[in-house]
Amino acid sequence: MTDTAQPTATKTDTAAAFKTRVFSGIQPSGGLTLGNYLGALKRFVELQERGAETIYCIVDLHAITVWQDPAALRRNTRELAAGFLASGIDPTRSILFNQSQVPGHAQLAWIFNCVARMGWLNRMTQFKDKAGKNRENASVGLFAYPTLMAADILLYHATHVPVGEDQKQHLELTRDIAIKFNHDYGVDWFPVVEPVIEGPATRVMSLRDGTKKMSKSDPSDMSRINLTDDADTIARKIRKARTDPEPLPETLEGLEGRPEARNLVNIFAALADITPEQAIRQVAGKQFSEFKPMLAELAVERLAPISRRMAELMEDPAEIDRILGDGARRADAIATPILEKTYDIVGMLRTRGD
Kindly list the catalytic residues: 130, 213, 216
Q: Which of 18, 22, 35, 291 binds ligand TYM (CB under 6 A)?
A: 35
By the rule CB under 6 A, 87 interacts with ligand TYM: no
By the rule CB under 6 A, 175 interacts with ligand TYM: no
Query: 25 or 249: whose CB is closer to ligand TYM?
Result: 25
At 58 the three-state DSSP class reads: strand
CB of 305 to ligand TYM, least distance (A): 20
114 CB-contact burial (10 Å; exposed 0-12 / middle 13-18 / buried 19+):
exposed
Q: Which listed range, 165-173, 254-262, 329-337, 338-346, lies at the site for ligand TYM (CB under 6 A)? A: 165-173
Query: 100 or 202: whose CB is closer to ligand TYM?
Result: 202
CB of 27 to ligand TYM, least distance (A): 4
269 CB-contact burial (10 Å; exposed 0-12 / middle 13-18 / buried 19+):
buried
Q: Which listed range, 108-116, 128-136, 163-171, 339-347, lies at the site for ligand TYM (CB under 6 A)? A: 163-171
- Enumerate the H helices of the chain as residue ranges: 34-36, 42-49, 60-63, 70-87, 104-113, 118-122, 125-131, 140-154, 168-185, 231-239, 259-272, 276-283, 288-314, 317-346
CA distance 295 to 33: 16
Q: Are 100 and 28 in contact (CB under 8 A)?
A: no
Q: Which bin fits 256, alpha (ψ -120 to 50), beta or left (φ > 0)? A: beta
By the rule CB under 6 A, 203 interacts with ligand TYM: yes
By the rule CB under 6 A, 152 interacts with ligand TYM: yes
Q: Are 215 and 206 in contact (CB under 8 A)?
A: yes
Query: 152 or 260: whose CB is closer to ligand TYM?
Result: 152
By the rule CB under 6 A, 100 interacts with ligand TYM: no
Q: Which of 39, 191, 199, 200 binds ligand TYM (CB under 6 A)?
A: 39
Q: Which of 77, 147, 167, 182 binds ligand TYM (CB under 6 A)?
A: 167
Angle among Cα 275, 280, 281 to the nearest 5 degrees reads: 100
By the rule CB under 6 A, 195 interacts with ligand TYM: no
Q: Which of 52, 155, 163, 271 binds ligand TYM (CB under 6 A)?
A: 163
Query: HSE-up of 18 (CA within 13 Å, CB side)?
Result: 22
User: Which residues in 208-267 contact ligand TYM (CB under 6 A)?
Assistant: 213-214
In whole angstroms, what separates CA 307 from the centre of its chain? 19
Taking alpha carbons only, the member of 202, 139, 136, 201 closest to residue 168 is 202
Per-residue DSSP letters for 112-124?
A: HHTTS-HHHHHT-
CB of 109 to ligand TYM, least distance (A): 10
245 CB-contact burial (10 Å; exposed 0-12 / middle 13-18 / buried 19+):
exposed
Query: 106 or 348: whose CB is closer to ligand TYM?
Result: 106
By the rule CB under 6 A, 54 interacts with ligand TYM: no
CA distance 139 to 297: 43
Q: Which of 52, 58, 59, 261 binds ligand TYM (CB under 6 A)?
A: 59
CB of 205 to ligand TYM, least distance (A): 7
Q: Which listed range, 31-39, 237-245, 284-292, 311-319, lies at the site for ligand TYM (CB under 6 A)? A: 31-39
By the rule CB under 6 A, 64 interacts with ligand TYM: no
The site for ligand TYM (CB under 6 A) is made up of 23-27, 35-36, 39-40, 59, 62, 149, 152-153, 161, 163-164, 166-167, 170, 201-204, 213-214
